[in-house]
A and B are shown apart, each in its own frame.
Chain A
Amino acid sequence: MVIERKWKKWLMFYIPMAVFIVFTLFPFYWMAVTALRPDGELYRTFRQANATPFWTLEPTLEHFKGLLQTTAFPKWLWNTMLIAIVSTIISLICGMFAGYALARLKFKGSEFLGTIIFITYLVPQTLLFIPLADIIRNMQLGNTPWALMLTYPTFLIPFCTWLLMGYFKTIPKELEECARIDGATRFGAMIRIIFPVAVPGILSAGIFAFTLSWNEFIYALIFMSSAELKTVPVGVVSELIRGDIFFWGQLMAGALLGSIPVALVYSFFVEYYVTGLTGSVKG
């Protein structure tokens, strides 16, 4: 491994890596460029003289201005944030307790229960929204943030439960046995020892849950009808595509602004996030 030809390293590592990075980041770049491009540049053909498809000569913030002034985008951002945070908290709390129980408590049918929970995660949302819509209507929650705060956990809880169950299983049993001998009850040992040790796992479950609910589309589209109450993904698409007219500049500005909070969350917790996925601390 040590003595390796330089060209080999370039061929096997740097070039594929560069290709991969370009592939991954190009859509984001395209999104950013489109958001900054004046309308005049957006709607002309590539064959025109001076066409610069990959960059812009006159960057402008008018799409952002338009987005913030003519649509309810700030309100959508706030709605999305609130709904994502509340449903993440609900799902995390349920997932922590359920994951702990499935990982640690030996009771009849615990494995079966674990499988069932996993299977519910596999039911596609496009099917599940039908009965859920009925429930939401019966409870008269339609067109309120609660409709989403309570339906997102239907797919977030199974997800959090499974991720956390796996994490709890990697924590040595002796830790809580020792805590119980030290004078804690089972519940106390869970709260004081296991949960603090599992912080990386809990954070990564939280980040995932937050991202999933931030980007969720179907439920948000179906359960929310007034423009004021929409979330970013639905609001941007439903308000900025009118008939067959796409307001590309504002659409991309909305997408860009909408992805910033998620990017921030990831960058803050990225270290925890990696350890959360790769297992817990060693003895």
Chain B
Amino acid sequence: MANVTIRSLNKNYENGFHAVKDVNLEIRDKEFVVLVGPSGCGKTTTLRMVAGLEEITSGQILIGENVVNDLPPMDRNIAMVFQNYALYPHKSVYQNMAFGLQMRKYPKEEIDERVREAAEILGIQPLLERKPRQLSGGQRQRVAVGRAIVRHPEVFLFDEPLSNLDAQLRVQMRVELKRLHERLETTAIYVTHDQVEAMTLGDRVVVMKDGWVQQVGEPLELYGKPANRFVAGFIGSPSMNFVDVTISEAGGALWAEAQALRLSVPAQHQERARAYLGSHLTLGVRPEALTLASGAEPAGCCFDTSVDVVEPLGNEILLNFRAGGTPMVARVDPAVRVKARENIRIAVDPARVHFFDEKSGAAI
């Protein structure tokens, strides 16, 4: 059990690529932290530096109270699960799981006890004598997790462990991993590019892009209060709608205007938006904050458009249309009956409108 502290961590590759830029992170004991971002954002490099598989260019990594910068992977008391499972193909499942303990010279009885305990937790007792090539993808993944948990490490590291599984199995393993973490109560750092995995698994989620940490927060915090346009667009599916608007003043109130779109700036944004009077902002609104107008909405919260495509998903309907010169998506109640090319009036929930600086992308 330990917390992991990352201080001003940087990684420069020899070819000059600056993969990780000044990352600071405090991971509490027993916490499940997910690093998420598009490929090449530095999340895996960060994880590999924690594991000791990648040299640290500058900065510090602490596990518990110890600076581990110069410790080899074997001395960090961590366990890692890899995307391609990395099972030793010439060893049986049992030997795979026992290897780490054998290397650390545990007595035979204890190895046996721990392997069987882990196998029971993961439901792989019948597979212990098999070779990895005789296992399905999901079983291999379980063995890889089992190999990590037999060691009772201080920190678990997961590098996209579910990416090689098919969609259904991925959902199932996701739930199992979460259950496992609640049972084992061990600090875990999990890397994924899948924002759904990040949101469902993480106690806290770290969003990265181009080597920078964009935002750290609990899943709902990221969703509800994204720090910038990138986080707003990355978290959530379908992603947030963005429209470039001009801020103007009329009748003592501020208005956000774009082509064929005129919305009043909600009260909570009035003050900060005033600084942008006459210039541009990016307005962001999630698909579920858009509804079909009932007619009772106040003026300045609605706009007219016509539907391009209707996507009925069963539990919801996605309406695709254009507004303010850009394509937008609304997620509406499945009871709604709308056809393509029909003219509709969309209402915007003023409490769920975001504004972002056009240049820096930061939320205002």
Of A17-25, A177-185, A247-255, the stretch lying at the interface with chain B is A177-185
Q: In the assembled complex, which residues on chain A have CB atoms less than 8 Å from the CB atom of B151?
A: 182
- Determine the residue in chain B with the shortest Cβ distance to A183: B103
- Cβ of B298 within 8 Å of any chain A Cβ, yes or no, is no
A-B contact pairs, 15 of them (CB 8 A): A174-B83, A177-B51, A177-B82, A177-B86, A179-B88, A181-B52, A181-B73, A181-B74, A182-B74, A182-B147, A184-B103, A197-B88, A197-B90, A282-B133, A283-B86
A185 touches B88 (CB 8 A): no
B86 touches A180 (CB 8 A): no
- Cβ of B190 within 8 Å of any chain A Cβ, yes or no, is no
B99 touches A182 (CB 8 A): yes
Instruction: Give CA–CA (A281, B87) in the complex, Å.
Output: 11
A181 touches B103 (CB 8 A): no
Residue in A172, A174, A175, A182 whose CB lies within 8 Å of B100: A182
- Cβ of B78 within 8 Å of any chain A Cβ, yes or no, is yes
Known: A185-B72, A193-B88, A283-B87. A179 touches B82 (CB 8 A): no
Q: Mark A165-203, 1 if CB is under 8 A from B, else 0.
A: 000000010110111111111001000010011010000
Instruction: Give CA–CA (A197, B86) in the complex, Å.
Output: 12
Partner-B contacts on A (CB < 8 A): 172, 174-175, 177-185, 188, 193, 196-197, 199, 281-283
Instruction: Give CA–CA (A174, B160) in the complex, Å.
Output: 13
Residue in A180, A193, A197 whose CB lies within 8 Å of B72: A180
Residue in A180, A182, A184, A197 whose CB lies within 8 Å of B89: A197
- Determine the residue in chain A with the shortest Cβ distance to B79: A181
> Chain B's nearest CB lies how many Å from the CB of A23?
38
Q: In the assembled complex, which residues on chain A have CB atoms less than 8 Å from the CB atom of B85?
A: 283
Q: In the assembled complex, which residues on chain A have CB atoms less than 8 Å from the CB atom of B79?
A: 181
- Cβ of B53 within 8 Å of any chain A Cβ, yes or no, is yes
Instruction: Give CA–CA (A199, B89) in the complex, Å.
Output: 12
Contacts A177-B82, A180-B53, A183-B103 known; 10 new A-B pairs at CB < 8 A: A175-B88, A177-B51, A179-B88, A180-B74, A181-B78, A183-B74, A184-B103, A188-B103, A199-B90, A281-B89
B86 touches A184 (CB 8 A): no
Instruction: Give CA–CA (A128, B316) in the complex, Å.
Output: 78
- Determine the residue in chain B with the shortest Cβ distance to A283: B84
- Determine the residue in chain A with the shortest Cβ distance to B89: A281
Q: In the assembled complex, which residues on chain B have CB atoms less than 8 Å from the CB atom of A197?
A: 88-90
Instruction: Give CA–CA (A181, B101) in the complex, Å.
Output: 11
- Determine the residue in chain A with the shortest Cβ distance to B133: A281
Q: Mark B67-104, 1 if CB is under 8 A from A, else 0.
A: 00000111010111011111111100000000110011
Known: A188-B103, A281-B133. A181 touches B88 (CB 8 A): no
Q: In the assembled complex, which residues on chain B have CB atoms less than 8 Å from the CB atom of A181?
A: 51-53, 73-74, 76, 78-80, 100
User: Which of A172, A178, A183, A188 is packed against the most chain B CB atoms within 10 Å?
Assistant: A178
Instruction: Give CA–CA (A208, B173) in the complex, Å.
Output: 46
> Chain A's nearest CB lies how many Å from the CB of B99?
5
Instruction: Give CA–CA (A282, B140) in the complex, Å.
Output: 12
Residue in B72, B73, B84, B147 whose CB lies within 8 Å of A172: B84
Inter-chain CB contacts under 8 Å: number? 67
> Chain A's nearest CB lies how many Å from the CB of B231?
30
Q: In the assembled complex, which residues on chain B have CB atoms less than 8 Å from the CB atom of A184?
A: 74, 103
Q: In the assembled complex, which residues on chain A have CB atoms less than 8 Å from the CB atom of B86?
A: 172, 174-175, 177-178, 283
Instruction: Give CA–CA (A172, B140) in the complex, Å.
Output: 15
Known: A182-B103, A197-B90. A177 touches B84 (CB 8 A): no
Going nearest first, the 4 A-B pairs with the smallest beta carbon separation are A183-B103, A182-B100, A174-B86, A178-B86
Q: In the assembled complex, which residues on chain A have CB atoms less than 8 Å from the CB atom of B72?
A: 180, 185
Instruction: Give CA–CA (A183, B147) in the complex, Å.
Output: 12
> Chain A's nearest CB lies how many Å from the CB of B100?
4
> Chain B's nearest CB lies how many Å from the CB of A175?
5
Instruction: Give CA–CA (A282, B88) in the complex, Å.
Output: 10
Instruction: Give CA–CA (A185, B87) in the complex, Å.
Output: 17
> Chain B's nearest CB lies how many Å from the CB of A105?
14
> Chain A's nearest CB lies how many Å from the CB of B139?
13
Q: In the assembled complex, which residues on chain A have CB atoms less than 8 Å from the CB atom of B132?
A: 283
> Chain B's nearest CB lies how many Å from the CB of A46?
58
B103 touches A174 (CB 8 A): no
Q: In the assembled complex, which residues on chain B have CB atoms less than 8 Å from the CB atom of A199?
A: 90
- Determine the residue in chain A with the shortest Cβ distance to B85: A283
Residue in A175, A177, A182, A188 whose CB lies within 8 Å of B53: A177
Q: In the assembled complex, which residues on chain A have CB atoms less than 8 Å from the CB atom of B103?
A: 182-184, 188
Q: In the assembled complex, which residues on chain A have CB atoms less than 8 Å from the CB atom of B100?
A: 181-183
Q: Which of B103-150 contact A (CB under 8 A)?
A: 103-104, 132-133, 140, 147
B84 touches A180 (CB 8 A): no
Instruction: Give CA–CA (A129, B148) in the complex, Å.
Output: 55
Known: A174-B82, A177-B82, A178-B82. A183 touches B104 (CB 8 A): yes
Instruction: Give CA–CA (A283, B82) in the complex, Å.
Output: 11
Q: In the assembled complex, which residues on chain A have CB atoms less than 8 Å from the CB atom of B83?
A: 174
Q: In the assembled complex, which residues on chain A have CB atoms less than 8 Å from the CB atom of B140?
A: 283
B84 touches A179 (CB 8 A): no
- Determine the residue in chain B with the shortest Cβ distance to A171: B89
> Chain B's nearest CB lies how many Å from the CB of A60?
50
